[in-house]
Copies of this chain bind each other. A is one copy, B any other.
């Protein structure tokens, strides 16, 4: 393993100044050393995203110890084996498998070229401990990214009130229009819009955020140099300028199907909640929603016509998962604690008492009906109005008998209705006020 060790130390030696240059400002003394960041960058080249064995090793031995283990340094192996006895670490067999697969990709030249490409792009490297590191990613545990590459404003990654707005690539006009409208409202409520940069809903979400002058973060499935899909190169370029484009993969890494799946966990973890606008029966957006749910993040789902295949996955989430039905920006913003707090007008009945269907149910949020009748009235008042006419005046006794109420209660209800301007008293009896 001497060859591997030499290869690693040579690569790290050359990598460190590059990495130092790419650390995100501001730097504080508490930040991890660039040596740690360089090692994380190296491990990011060796492993596929979300490699739980690697995550567990780094948590246990640190990036330095893990790289030393990959490099085959005897001292690191001894430390690992010693800790094994404490049963704290991933199993020996899992680590042996891991070392085998990671070492296959040891290529100092490719690693350095990737760093140079990142530097040319002006990308920043974020690692845990950095001020700008989004601590929400820690919720992913052993599957958390080791580092993040950011093009644009690292301060937006993991901003407060981050809301992922994701959905089908094969979106319909309904879904896209809805996304444009809702995202504008979310930006107005101070939300940062996270999405995956894809065609369809993702693109509409980013675009609407930019148009509204809001913050938006695109999480890529490939390296930060791969502004994929091709047709969104200009959009993603604009996000680099005015938002942030993020990836856990190094420059040069292609977006593969596996990496799209792994990327979805980052979208979910970077956000306070996930909203799925449209999703086919097997859309990748459902994968993002499942990740959010398993991380304890709220999942909002926009319903659509049941006849639209582009909403089938949304309805599936509503049926099968603990997802919340959301229909507009206000309901989406509630998921991240940015409710309207009375800023916008509530539906005109929201503050009224609802007519319960049983007496004594006044506090219950029952519903008046049929259709629009009975708003804000109690049962006795509805019954009294039923017994009244706009033309034929009736006495309290007559109204009480018709309504099936004691006369005293009928009189009380008439008083209430009178105060509400719904009825009037004439010399011949009571009438409904037109």
Contact = CB atoms under 8 A, between A and B. Distances in A.
Contact of A174 (B290, B303, B307, B369): B307
Nearest to A359: B52
B320 A367 contact: no
Contacts of A325: 303, 315, 318-319, 325
Given A198-B370, A369-B286, A318 B303 contact: yes
A369 B404 contact: no
A407 B100 CA distance: 8
Interface stretch (A112-120, A206-214, A237-245, A374-382): A374-382
A370 B260 contact: yes
Contact of A383 (B256, B284, B383): B256
17 contacts: A48-B383, A48-B403, A104-B407, A143-B358, A258-B382, A260-B370, A260-B373, A265-B358, A284-B371, A286-B369, A287-B367, A303-B305, A304-B306, A305-B305, A306-B327, A319-B324, A319-B326
Interface string A352-395: 00010111100011111111111100010011011100000000
B281 A347 contact: yes
Given A104-B397, A287-B367, 7 more contacts: A51-B404, A101-B400, A258-B382, A264-B357, A284-B370, A303-B305, A304-B305
A168 interface: yes
A145 interface: no
Interface of A: 46-48, 50-52, 97, 100-102, 104-105, 143, 168-170, 174, 178, 198, 256-262, 264-265, 280-291, 302-307, 311-315, 318-320, 324-328, 331, 347, 349, 355, 357-360, 364-375, 379, 382-383, 385-387, 397, 400-401, 403-407, 409
B369 A282 contact: yes
Contacts of A170: 371
Given A101-B405, A327-B306, A409-B97, A369 B143 contact: no
A431 B372 CA distance: 65
Nearest to A102: B404
B357 A47 contact: no
A291 B357 contact: yes
A30 to B, nearest CB: 31
Nearest to A99: B406
Contacts of A409: 97, 101
B290 A366 contact: yes
Nearest to A400: B104
B318 A371 contact: no
Contact of A371 (B48, B282, B383): B282
